[in-house]
């Protein structure tokens, strides 16, 4: 069984059905009936009027959102382990035309107001240093921790006080909401988030993500930026269909909860081996080299995280929507038996 990442999991049957059902001639781009309902549907979910634009990848969602929040000569404060810094081949620099990612630190890849303040204090307010325009946080974080509504709000208040925009990378937003039980609006716009990259692919989608814009004026130029980035698909109905299927009957939350439950089962078995609290669907554990080999010999596949030495090291297990507690029971048992 594979625990490399949720990013390559199968597409949920409801999503696939929605794609198949969308296969009829309709207006191109986002002029089709499905795309035209996205704003309304996401507005219901978030409890405020939003603009929702589909794109194909999380990298595009993040980079386009940031390019609308930060001008080319300024910077975005993010965690040094943030996906936008570590795993997007410089997409933010490309989409923002040279803007700088200003790196911060924090436990479990999470930022805090104190850390953001420390970074802000280190930047001289003169023309020689890149000035910050935006903060980006990831929820759930790259190490599987979540921000509570209160934590986001504390960051949001700081941003507002400092004139900074706030972006949330929600590649695993469903896992975060399912984990905290927070209302989607409470951990986003009510907490000061200006734009959200709403993840769908990792949660059972095929190739649709959404940029959710909570501040109408910020949405104005995004359709142009999307087109210019080669992200405006002519048969956009197939992306809208995925997102709508995911929202139907809260499938997105059910999927997120299932993946979280799988992770919890593994975490429970791992006990003291855990490197971080397991809030969402990622589990980081310490393993000796022999233990890692043993698990692999039993058919469990996963990534080493960092360097694995003779004495062992860290391993990452990620669960997907189709790997709930029951499904991962064999892995949990194997870990418990180490």
- Give residues 80-139 in contact with its own copies (rule: CB under 8 A): 86-91, 93-100, 127-131
Kindly tell me which residue out of 47, 106, 185, 223 binds its own copies, with binding defined by CB under 8 A: 223
**Both ends of the chain: CA-CA distance in Å?**
18
How far apart are alpha carbons 281 and 176 in whole angstroms?
Answer: 9
Residue 14 touches its own copies, criterion: CB under 8 A? no
- Per CB under 8 A, which of residues 23..42 are in contact with its own copies? 23-29, 32
Closest CA to 225 of 72, 24, 119, 7: 72
Using CB under 8 A, which of the segments 72-80, 149-157, 286-294, 309-317 binds its own copies? 72-80
CA pair distance 238, 23, nearest whole angstrom: 8
Residue 230 interacts with its own copies (CB under 8 A)? Answer: yes
Of 64, 210, 257, 259, the one binding its own copies by CB under 8 A: 64
Under the criterion CB under 8 A, does residue 203 sit at the interface with its own copies? no
Cβ-proximal residues to 47 (8 Å cutoff; 6+ apart), any chain: 183, 184, 185
In angstroms, give the least distance from the CB of 6 to its own copies.
9
Q: Kindly tell me which of 4 and 115 has the beta carbon lying closer to its own copies.
A: 4
Q: Are 314 and 304 a contacting pair, CB within 8 Å?
A: yes
Q: Is 333 near its own copies (CB under 8 A)?
A: no
Q: Is 16 in the site for its own copies (CB under 8 A)?
A: yes
Q: Which of 33, 224, 249, 326 binds its own copies (CB under 8 A)?
A: 224
**CB-CB neighbours of 27 under 10 Å:** 13
Of residues 232 through 291, those in contact with its own copies by CB under 8 A are 232-235, 238-239
Cross-strand partners of 29: 235
Q: Which strand (E) or helix (H) includes residue 55?
A: strand 51-55
Residue 312: burial class (beta carbons within 10 Å; 0-12, 13-18, 19+): middle
Residue 299 region, left (φ>0) first, then alpha (ψ -120 to 50), else beta?
Answer: left
59 makes contact with its own copies (CB under 8 A): yes
Q: What is the smallest separation between the CB atom of 21 and its own copies, expressed in angstroms?
A: 11
Q: Which among 166, 170, 147, 148 is positioned nearest to 156, based on CA atoms?
A: 166
Q: Which is nearer to its own copies, 230 or 311 (CB)?
A: 230
Closest contact distance (angstroms) between CB of 60 and its own copies is 3
Residue-wise burial string across 103-128, b where 16 or more C-beta atoms lie within 10 A, e elsewhere: ebebebbbbbbebbeebbeeeeeeee
Q: Which is nearer to its own copies, 61 or 213 (CB)?
A: 61
Candidate ranges 41-49, 224-232, 256-264, 275-283; the one touching its own copies (CB under 8 A): 224-232
Looking at the Cβ atoms of 5 and 48, the one nearer to its own copies is 5
Altogether, the residues listed in the chain come to a count of 338
217 is a contact residue toward its own copies (CB under 8 A): no
Count of residues binding its own copies (CB under 8 A)?
71
Among 51, 66, 70, 75, binds its own copies (CB under 8 A): 75
């Amino acid at each position: 069984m594979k625990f490399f990442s949720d990013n390559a999991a199968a597409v949920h049957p409801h999503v696939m059905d929605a794609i198949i059902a969308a296969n009829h001639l309709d207006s191109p781009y986002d002029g089709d009936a499905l795309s035209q309902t996205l704003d309304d549907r996401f507005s219901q979910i978030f409890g405020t009027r939003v603009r929702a634009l589909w794109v194909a990848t999380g990298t595009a969602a993040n980079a386009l959102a940031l390019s609308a929040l930060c001008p080319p000569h300024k910077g975005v404060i993010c965690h040094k382990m943030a996906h936008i810094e570590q795993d997007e081949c410089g997409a933010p620099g490309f989409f923002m035309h040279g803007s700088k990612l200003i790196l911060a630190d924090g436990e479990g890849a999470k930022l805090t107001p104190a850390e953001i303040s420390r970074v802000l204090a280190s930047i001289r307010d003169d023309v020689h240093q890149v000035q910050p325009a935006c903060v980006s946080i990831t929820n759930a974080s790259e190490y599987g921790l979540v921000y509570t509504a209160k934590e986001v709000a504390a960051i949001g208040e700081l941003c507002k006080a400092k004139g900074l925009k706030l972006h949330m990378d929600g590649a695993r937003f469903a896992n975060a909401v399912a984990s905290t039980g927070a209302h989607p609006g409470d951990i986003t716009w009510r907490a000061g988030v200006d734009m959200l990259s709403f993840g769908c692919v990792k949660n059972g989608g095929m190739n649709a993500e959404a940029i959710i814009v909570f501040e109408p004026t910020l949405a104005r130029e995004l359709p142009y930026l999307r087109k210019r980035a080669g992200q405006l698909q002519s048969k956009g109905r197939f992306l809208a269909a995925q997102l709508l299927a995911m929202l139907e009957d809260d499938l997105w939350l059910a999927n997120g909860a299932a993946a979280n439950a799988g992770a919890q089962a593994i975490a429970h078995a791992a006990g003291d081996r855990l490197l971080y609290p397991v809030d969402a669907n990622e589990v980081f554990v310490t393993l000796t080299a022999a233990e890692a080999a043993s698990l692999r010999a039993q058919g469990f596949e996963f990534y080493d995280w960092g360097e694995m030495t003779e004495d062992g090291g860290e391993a990452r297990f990620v669960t997907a929507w189709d790997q709930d507690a029951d499904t991962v029971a064999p892995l949990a048992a194997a870990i418990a038996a180490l």
